[in-house]
């Protein structure tokens, strides 16, 4: 029996022509030739013990003793040891999806508690049990707003994380939704499904958000809510973000988890899983998935999302982190992150560096004559000095993991 191939050669040619390519190989031309291994030159088999020694020797070649001042959506935060201990328990570390509540009470309770914590942090009425990441959350929230309003235009801030913005544009392009970008919120927004802003924005600036005549979506880093006003207090109808700063390692950029929270009246348009609390037949507290509007449960065309799942294990890590540090620890981490950022900004300003951010939490942008030169000098001294935005601007972030000595060294290198 031959393997079934869904695409005929003619179909492939038609698909390639539509995107301006001639062959399947052209799809991979962006990959550098040096990474295109044709011959792996595998050595002779060795024992497990020998392999471990060899891998350790290779790992030692990596430079890992850097001080991080990187941000832009991924932060070097302190993670209590209990987070990984709990997350590695076999009851949680599974690919199983908890559709059967009778055998999934622990996982469902974690989801419910995660939702409760997100509601407390954001001030919203209801939250889902995570989506893929912050970018996915932004895009799904825009689609959610379009369904609610029946309008096909969305307004998105130019100061949104550029990766998030690209994902929003991709989702909206596929849904024939028009995306317009803005510097300042227009006075009249009634023709739009929603306004999507990030606060603090990608460049670290905290802004006062004007009232709008449509749905307001606020994207936030939840760690900033240890000190700042809740998005609900800023007038948000929908709140989205990434939970990486809640006990999730940087992981070279992922996996992380996003969340969507909203006002109760929009609950049935919220994508992703939602865990609810109820009573079983014996009157005991029980948990179950509820308001299931995913395509596995209802007609595909009525589903709130066809490609939206959740990151239950990452949500569990965020749960354990918040439980371990508590309300006081959460506020202390936020206070230290802010204190160190303002201290660094003050020291750089005294060195003649132009600080572009005025109101910021733990992240700000500064300007120099040659950003590449500055970052290279910092790196030579084992400091990852920030994200190069362009030839002159650098985005720098501090967390509770930084120290006064590290901040002093950063400034002295100017």
How far is 414 from 406, CA to CA, in rounded Å? 13
Mean pLDDT over 161-188 rounds to 95
- Reduced to 3 states (helix: H, G, I; strand: E, B; else coil), residue 167 is helix
Torsion angle of C-alpha atoms 363, 119, 210, 396, degrees rounded to 10 = 10
Q: What angle do CA 136, 112, 311 make, to 5 degrees?
A: 30
Three-class SS of residue 197? strand
For residue 84, what pLDDT is reported?
94
Residue matched to tokens 């000190």? 227
Average pLDDT over residues 364-386: 96
> Quick one: which H or E segment has residue 288?
strand 285-289
**Mean per-residue pLDDT of the chain:** 91
Residue 65 has pLDDT above 90, yes or no: no
Please answer whether residues 387 and 363 qualify as being in contact, where contact means their C-beta atoms are separated by less than 8 angstroms: no
Is the pLDDT assigned to residue 309 strictly greater than 70? no
Question: Is a pLDDT exceeding 70 seen at residue 1?
Answer: no
Give the whole-angstrom CA distance, residue 362 versus residue 333. Answer: 11
> Across residues 281-306, what is the average pLDDT?
76
Is pLDDT larger for residue 310 or for residue 378?
378
* Sheet arrangement for strand 363-367: 354-355, 363-367, 393-397, 387-388
Band (196; pLDDT cuts 50, 70, 90): very high
pLDDT for 308 beyond 60: no
Structure tokens at 316: 């569990």
Instruction: List Cβ<8 Å contacts ≥24 apart for 329-332.
Output: 330/223, 330/226, 331/226, 331/227, 332/400
Convert the pLDDT of each residue in 332-362 to its tens digit. Answer: 999 999 999 999 999 999 999 999 998 999 9
Is the confidence at residue 220, as pLDDT, over 80?
Answer: yes
- pLDDT band for 128, please (50, 70, 90 cuts): very high
Neighbours of 90 (CB within 10 A): 6
As a whole number, mean pLDDT of residues 385-395 equals 97
DSSP string, 293-341: -BTTTS-GGG-SBSS----HHHHHHHHHHHHHHHHHHHHHHHHHHHHHH
**What percent of the chain lies above the pLDDT cut of 70?**
95
How many Cβ atoms sit within 10 Å of the Cβ of residue 240? 30
Q: Would you state the CATH architecture of domain 81-319?
A: 3-Layer(aba) Sandwich (3.40)
Mean pLDDT of 207-216: 94
pLDDT at 294 over 70: no
What does residue 369 show for φ and ψ, rounded to 5 degrees?
Answer: -70, -35
pLDDT digits (tens, 9 = 90+) for 29-41: 888 888 877 777 7
| Residues ≥6 apart with Cβ < 8 Å to 105 | 286, 287
In 10 A of CB 331, how many CB atoms? Answer: 14
- In degrees to the nearest 10, what's the CA dihedral of 229, 232, 237, 238? 60
Q: At residue 191, does pLDDT exceed 90?
A: yes
Give the whole-angstrom CA distance, residue 414 versus residue 407.
12
Domain with CATH 3.90.1150.10 in the chain: 67-79+326-412
CB atoms within 10 A of CB 312: 23
Q: Which CATH number fits domain 67-79+326-412: 3.30.300.30, 3.30.1360.70, 3.90.1150.10, 3.30.70.20?
A: 3.90.1150.10
Q: What is the pLDDT of residue 297?
A: 60
- Residue 95 pLDDT level (bands cut at 50, 70, 90): low
CA-wise closest residue to 392 among 361, 357, 368: 368
Residue 132 to residue 306: CA distance in whole angstroms: 13
Where in the sequence of the chain do the CATH 3.40.640.10 domains occur?
Answer: 81-319
| Contact by Cβ (8 Å): 368, 395 | no
């Amino acid at each position: 029996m031959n393997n079934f191939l869904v695409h005929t050669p003619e179909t492939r040619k038609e698909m390639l022509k539509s995107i301006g390519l001639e062959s399947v190989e052209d799809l991979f031309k962006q990959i550098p030739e040096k990474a295109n291994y044709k011959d792996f030159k595998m050595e002779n088999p060795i024992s497990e013990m020998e392999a471990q020694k060899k891998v350790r020797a290779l790992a030692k070649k990596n430079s890992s003793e850097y001080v991080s001042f990187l941000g832009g959506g991924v932060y070097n935060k302190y993670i209590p040891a209990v987070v990984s201990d709990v997350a590695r328990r076999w009851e949680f570390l599974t690919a199983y999806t908890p559709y059967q509540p009778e055998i999934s009470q622990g996982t469902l309770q974690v989801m419910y508690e995660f939702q409760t914590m997100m509601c407390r942090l954001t001030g919203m009425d209801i939250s889902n049990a995570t989506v893929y990441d912050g970018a996915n959350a932004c895009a799904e929230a825009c689609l959610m707003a379009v369904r609610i309003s029946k309008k096909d235009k969305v307004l998105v801030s130019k100061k949104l994380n550029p990766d998030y913005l690209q994902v929003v544009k991709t989702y909206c392009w596929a849904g024939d939704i028009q995306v317009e970008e803005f510097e300042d919120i227009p006075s009249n927004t009634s023709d739009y499904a929603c306004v999507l802003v990030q606060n603090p924005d990608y460049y670290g600036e905290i802004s006062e958000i004007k009232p709008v005549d449509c749905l307001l979506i606020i994207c936030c880093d939840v760690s900033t809510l240890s000190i700042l006003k809740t998005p609900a207090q800023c007038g948000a109808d929908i709140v989205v973000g990434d939970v990486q700063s809640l006990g999730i390692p940087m992981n070279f950029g992922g996996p992380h988890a996003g969340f969507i929270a909203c006002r109760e009246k929009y609950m049935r348009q919220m994508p992703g899983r939602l865990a609810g609390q109820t009573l079983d037949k014996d009157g005991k507290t029980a948990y179950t998935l509820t308001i299931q509007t995913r395509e596995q449960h209802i007609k595909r065309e009525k589903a709130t999302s066809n490609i939206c799942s959740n990151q239950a294990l990452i949500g569990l890590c965020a749960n354990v982190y918040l439980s371990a540090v508590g309300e006081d620890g959460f506020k202390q981490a936020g206070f230290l992150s802010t204190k160190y950022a303002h201290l660094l900004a003050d020291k750089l300003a005294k060195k003649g560096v132009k600080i572009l951010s005025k109101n910021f939490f733990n992240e700000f942008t500064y300007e120099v004559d040659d950003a590449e030169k500055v970052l290279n000098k910092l790196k030579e001294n084992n400091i990852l000095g920030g994200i190069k935005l362009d030839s002159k601007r650098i985005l720098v972030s501090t967390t509770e993991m930084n120290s006064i000595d590290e901040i002093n060294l950063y400034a002295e290198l100017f």
